[in-house]
Amino acid sequence: MITREVKIGNVVIGGSNPVMIQSMCAVKTYDVEKVVQQANLLYDAGAGLVRIAVDNPKDAAALPEIRRLTQTDARQVNLSVDLQENYRMAELAAPWVDKLRYNPGHLYHFEPSRPWQEKVQYIADVAQKNDCALRIGVNSGSVDPAKKDKFAPDDMLSPMLDSALEHAQFLDSIGFTRYCVSLKESDPYLTLEANRKFAAARPDVPLHLGVTEAGAPPIGIIKSRLALEKLLAEGIGATLRISLTVPADEKNLEVEAGKQLLEDVKAGRFTPENAWDPNGLNIISCPSCARVQNSRFVDLAEKIRTATAFAAQRKFTIAVMGCRVNGPGESDHADLGVWCGPECVNLKKKGQLVGRFSYDEIVDVIVNELRVASCELRE
């Protein structure tokens, strides 16, 4: 599928350009040294774009130095900024990066009475002025609440699709076409369907592919591949990210997994459908990023995965999230969901808050809940 071309720094995605692999930093954005180290790690692994979260002026203030240290004779790292709740960070970040990602589902947080169209117009103006591309990044865990209300509560796909199409149409209407779109779900088959439908409706718009909160390897890679292999083989996708729950200094694994995926699709090697059982225990965990509220998150996700292995055959979903950005939303759809705070971990059961637990006690609490649920399922 030949889409529009979109220039991001020194790369162009879409058109007949090769699929670009990207990844994201998982260290605090204000810690310049660590961000530069990680950006270089990702670049050296083969990332064409490195994304950084910017949520506040302190994060934004680090960008000039990050930019300076990642544009050297040895490396020219293309940078993208991830805007979430405070879209106004765009004007502080844009002069130092090549792309801005905004999430339509988070635009209502800041200046709630201002129409979203005005906010997007502002982001597009900032992007235009600073020679940046945009990504409309729709995520089912944080989809626009107005879109959720339009559809049945169990319909995860329509709100995402509606939101992505609406924002694409709006950017076109104001004459800003230098953008790509992503529609990410933690279920590979929903991600597959959402992207197929978007591509059918808007074959001109380049897609950034990814399964969100895919989890730790190897299952995180398998879930990503189940969706992305098919899309790529159908000619859908201009860039991709494999999101993996791994320690920050192993983030290059995301890029390695992306390279292997492209190589395998080209060679016709595909993951068997039975490599992942959608009717078994499903652990969703975020890849972590600068917003992670306690560095124990990745370790906690691994402990939960190991401690719940006894229930591998049970149809049960546990969401393990690093912060409240997508945490509460993703947890609402899981049988058990945790999202991490600085000192404690919040636990939800089928969307209802059960309580807050320490990092030391939460694994046992989850195991007990899972045992109870397993007994209930047998009865």
What's the closest the beta carbon of residue 60 comes to ligand SF4, in angstroms?
17
Q: Which is nearer to ligand SF4, 90 or 325 (CB)?
A: 325
Q: Which is nearer to ligand SF4, 198 or 339 (CB)?
A: 339
Long-range CB contacts (within 8 A, 24+) of 140-143:
140/184, 140/185, 140/186, 140/190, 140/212, 140/329, 141/186, 141/212, 141/213, 141/321, 141/326, 141/327, 141/329, 141/330, 141/333, 142/103, 142/105, 142/106, 142/325, 142/326, 142/329, 143/104, 143/105, 143/329
Q: Does 92 bind ligand SF4 (CB under 6 A)?
A: no
Region of 177-185, 282-290, 311-319, 365-373 interacting with ligand SF4 (CB under 6 A):
282-290
Q: What is the contact mask toward ligand SF4 in residues 197 to 226, using x (rule: CB under 6 A)?
A: ------------------------------
Tell which one of 319, 323, 366, 370 touches ligand SF4 (CB under 6 A).
Answer: 323
Q: Which is nearer to ligand SF4, 183 or 286 (CB)?
A: 286
Q: Does 62 bind ligand SF4 (CB under 6 A)?
A: no
Number of neighbours of residue 378 by Cβ within 10 angstroms: 7
Q: Does 326 bind ligand SF4 (CB under 6 A)?
A: yes
Q: Does 237 bind ligand SF4 (CB under 6 A)?
A: no
Tell which one of 8, 227, 325, 338 touches ligand SF4 (CB under 6 A).
Answer: 325
Region of 36-44, 116-124, 228-236, 283-291 interacting with ligand SF4 (CB under 6 A):
283-291
| Closest by CA position to 22, among listed 258, 250, 194 | 258
Q: Does 321 bind ligand SF4 (CB under 6 A)?
A: yes
Residue with tokens 């409706």: 201
What span, in angstroms and rounded, lies between the C-alpha atoms of 198 and 189? 14
Dihedral, CA of residue 166, residue 168, residue 170 and residue 176, to nearest 10:
170
What span, in angstroms and rounded, lies between the C-alpha atoms of 198 and 193? 9
- Using CB under 6 A as the criterion, which residues of the chain lie in contact with ligand SF4 when the complex forms? 286-289, 291-292, 321-323, 325-327
